[in-house]
Amino acid sequence: MPKRRRKNRFPWLLIIFLSVGLIFMVIFSEQKSIFPFKQNSNALLDSVPQNFSIYGIDISHYQKKINWDKLAQFKYKHITITFVFIKATEGVNYVDPMWDEHWKNAKTHGFVRGAYHYYKPNLDPVKQMNHFLKQVFFENGDLSPVLDVEEDPVLVSHKQFVKNVLTALRYLEKKTGTTPILYTNYAFYKQYFMGEDFRKYPLWIAHYYKKTPPDDIPWKFWQFHDKMSLDGIKGNVDMNIYCCSFAEFKKFLKN
């Protein structure tokens, strides 16, 4: 007796699966419009370490347009925003599209502002610093310049990479008359910058989602969160803490 041919149910199962998925997408999109993301999330802000007094953020074009009036008025418990680090340049020819706007608005709205350069390890350090200094004009009250080093070297050796970063820091110091700040993450610092030559440069360390900062490195600024939510900024923003008193903080300001 010939076997009965089984019907192919796969197309029908696929259609049902896609239909259910489409329904969930519609429901989710409607919920997003009815329940918009709450910018000032108490849950996030309650996670901010409370035993400090000076807080700040760092921004670039990723934050796009900022409502600076709202940001200037932000307050949660004792937390307000005192300083703003702003991305200026990267490599030897890139300028952040929001650089000029962010730099001017930070000053206008009473924030202590700082500028940083995103360092590219395979490019000439002096050319990078000259590019940075062509864009940034520091005024009285501005923070020391920042060298942001977080990319692993590919085309240069460990030894040459460390030497080049030192060259960049020393060049900045010579040209600006101030001691620049070194930004990097905890693991990167441990790998590359534990040498005595780097101890003179104030450290801004990225070390996320911890209740306390690292106690085995000499940090001054601590980037403790990269997904903070604040009034005036759509989406996420990095949040930072300064270690010490305002009297100490003022030593980083140009005068």
Residues acting as catalytic residues: 58, 150
CB atoms within 10 A of CB 80: 15
- Among 122, 103, 120, 119, CA closest to 111: 103
Phi-psi region of 206 (alpha: psi -120 to 50; beta: other; left: phi over 0): beta
Cα dihedral 202, 205, 210, 215 in deg (nearest 10): -40
Q: How many Å apart are CA 89 and CA 167, to the nearest integer?
A: 18
Q: How many Å apart are CA 37 and CA 15, to the nearest integer?
A: 32
Query: Which residue is listed with tokens 């010490």?
Result: 244
Q: How many Å apart are CA 109 and CA 241, to the nearest integer?
A: 20
Query: Which residue is listed with tokens 């005595």?
Result: 196
Q: Tokens at residue 146, please? A: 């920042």
